[in-house]
């Protein structure tokens, strides 16, 4: 009496993320992930209800299955939260490096225009 529902196997908790740079994209992705999580949970709840109807004469068997599903959900949520934190840290460091490079570049351009070249541009 196993649950042969493909939707359970597909949600393997692995989310591949492509960094396209820029935080709005990341926020949009997080919203999508949350929506997907909600859909998964709804599906699992529906399955649990169906299972309850089937397992009317096996109450003990049904309890065990519910606990297992809840544990799986918690693990998936933890994984996704960790991934989201890592993505945010990555993006922050990218932005920081980019800002440093940009300000350095601006400073060099300004010093060139004003004629007082920085130490990098002193000619022998």
To the nearest 10 degrees (0 to 180), the angle between helices 59-114 and 23-54 is: 180
Predicted local distance difference test score (pLDDT) of residue 110:
81
Judge whether 100 lies within some domain. Answer: yes
Give the count of domains, the chain: 1
Radius of gyration of the chain (CA): 26
Judge whether 96 lies within some domain. Answer: yes
Q: Which residues contact 17 (CB under 8 A, 6 or more apart)?
A: 29, 83, 87
* Mean pLDDT score, 97-122: 75
Judge whether 36 lies within some domain. Answer: no
DSSP string, 3-58: ---HHHHH--S-------SSHHHHHHHHHHHHHHHHHHHHHHHHHHHHHHHHGGG-
CB 33 within 8 A of CB 80: yes
Q: Does residue 111 sit in helix, strand or coil?
A: helix
Judge whether 102 lies within some domain. Answer: yes
Judge whether 74 lies within some domain. Answer: no
pTM beyond 0.85: no
Tokens 């990098």 appear where?
Answer: 120
pLDDT tens profile 3-59: 554 444 444 444 444 444 445 556 676 677 777 777 777 777 777 777 767 666 665
Judge whether 98 lies within some domain. Answer: yes
- In the DSSP assignment, the letter for residue 103 is H
Structure token digits, residue 58 = 């096996």
Range of the domain at 100: 81-112
Judge whether 27 lies within some domain. Answer: no
């Amino acid at each position: 009496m196993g649950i042969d529902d493909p939707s359970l196997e597909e949600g393997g908790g692995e989310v591949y993320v492509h960094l396209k740079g820029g935080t709005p994209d990341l926020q949009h992705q997080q919203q999508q992930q949350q929506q997907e999580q909600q859909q998964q949970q709804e599906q699992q709840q529906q399955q649990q209800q169906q299972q309850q109807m089937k397992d009317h004469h096996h109450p003990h068997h049904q309890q065990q299955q519910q606990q297992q599903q809840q544990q799986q959900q918690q693990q998936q949520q933890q994984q996704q939260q960790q991934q989201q934190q890592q993505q945010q840290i990555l993006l922050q460091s990218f932005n920081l490096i980019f800002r440093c490079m940009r300000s350095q570049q601006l400073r060099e351009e300004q010093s060139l225009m004003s004629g007082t070249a920085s130490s990098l541009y002193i000619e022998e």
